[in-house]
Amino acid sequence: MRHIAVIGSGPAGYYTAEACQKAFGENVRVDIIDRLPVPFGLIRTGVAPDHQSIKGVSRRYEAVALTDNVRFVGNVTIGQDVSIDELRGLYDAVVLATGAPHDRKLDIPGAALPGVVGSAAFVGWYNGHPDYADLAPPLHAPAVVIGNGNVALDVARILAKTREEFAGSDIVGHALTALQGAHIDTITLLGRRGPHQIAMTPKELGELGELERARPIVDPADLPPLDTDSLLDPGQRKSVTHLRNFALANGADKPVHIVFDFFAMPVAVEGEGKVERVVVERTALDGEGHANGTGERYEIPASLVVSCIGYRTPPIEGVPYDDRSGRFANEEGRVLPGLYAVGWARRGPTGTIGTNRPDGFAIADKIAADIGEGSGKQGRAGLDALLAGRGVEVVTFRDWQKIEAAEKAAAREGSPREKFTSIDALLAARNP
């Protein structure tokens, strides 16, 4: 029997468990360990609440979770309740599937002012992550969103929507109430480079053109000649076409403006005890496509600055870490003997949810090559004894199903669920 521990219950974790099932059949036991009492990682707390079709992939993970040889072990914190070295002693393989849940640092003066938040915190706030439920972002004046990727689009769209447009979503009640009372008439998206270099995908970008009260604004002067579009891949070309349509849009104005400010690099955040403005430097592209400052500066009023500039994997004691890249040091997924990394924890925050599936299967192949028939370690029996001895209250997948049922029962009309946003509330929901 092979005993495998997977740390992290998001897409990378469940795809790895599925891959191990296929590699070893009935001769494997997989324990999926998570700090939170709820599974599915960024599917629950990262994917935008108005993108319910994407969240549907959790049904695949649920099918894996309900098999006899895969187990969810929630409410267990690595480094506090159990160490990596202890897990390596109990399991034939330990797989780090922790993702990249921490924000990359916004390294400019004023970044610590109240009103500057990272996208992990802001997205966690409206998605009901227990770590960020009390964020209370300022929503009374213009907002600046730093970044030109899909997360920046999500933040801008969520800020701009009406209450009615959230029908069918699972945005948490405290965020919906706060957004309904917001007074943000301008949301500026800052990007250091130009329209041809954005990382936004066409579908998500096109959604901005369908908002009830918000209008995306693009300066035609920022758009390059049409004949350069042929140099782009099909996805980029569609995205640039959306931007061209935004620049050409006319007719009735809308009360909220989503302004694309290209060739714009934030250099400071200023204000007396809180965010009041962002200082921006105009950039220009050199011959290699790098954005360099021109010295021309201007200010954008703001009460809220959301930094969407990337993510990092938090280090874990006893695990080699590459601080420069913000992920675990590894060679094609191998970290140390018996210790592996998968998904964003291995390669950094790149790719889609589906990208984690082949990654999980590749790691399963390496585990199979390395551990053979297994070494007779204790696996889950040893973990259970250790956690029980330390008084750790483990949450099972059956417990999660009770929590999920309680969230569905508490849902407002038209919403699939109302998430509990504290650990205590989640634990209490197991016993209705």
Contact assessment for residue 300 and residue 189, using Cβ atoms and an 8 Å cutoff:
no
- The tokens for 92 are 């034939």
Question: Tens of pLDDT along the chain (432 residues)?
Answer: 999 999 999 999 999 999 999 999 999 999 999 999 999 999 999 999 999 999 999 999 999 999 999 999 999 999 999 999 999 999 999 999 999 999 999 999 999 999 999 999 999 999 999 999 999 999 999 999 999 999 999 999 999 999 999 999 999 999 999 999 999 999 999 999 999 889 899 999 999 999 999 999 999 999 988 888 777 888 889 999 999 999 998 656 899 999 999 999 999 999 999 999 999 999 998 877 788 999 999 999 999 999 999 999 999 999 999 999 999 999 999 999 999 999 999 999 988 898 999 999 999 999 999 999 888 899 999 999 999 999 999 999 999 999 999 999 999 999 999 999 999 999 999 987
Beta-bridge mates of residue 189: 145, 260
b/e string for 116-140 if b means 16 or more Cβ within 10 A? bbbbbbbbbbbbbbbbbbebebbbe
Q: Which domains does the chain have, with CATH numbers?
A: 2-101+313-395 (3.40.50.720), 104-307 (3.50.50.60)
Q: The pTM is what?
A: 0.94
CA distance readout (Å), 223 to 156, 194, 207, 219, 253: 21, 8, 20, 7, 22
What span, in angstroms and rounded, lies between the C-alpha atoms of 261 and 241? 17
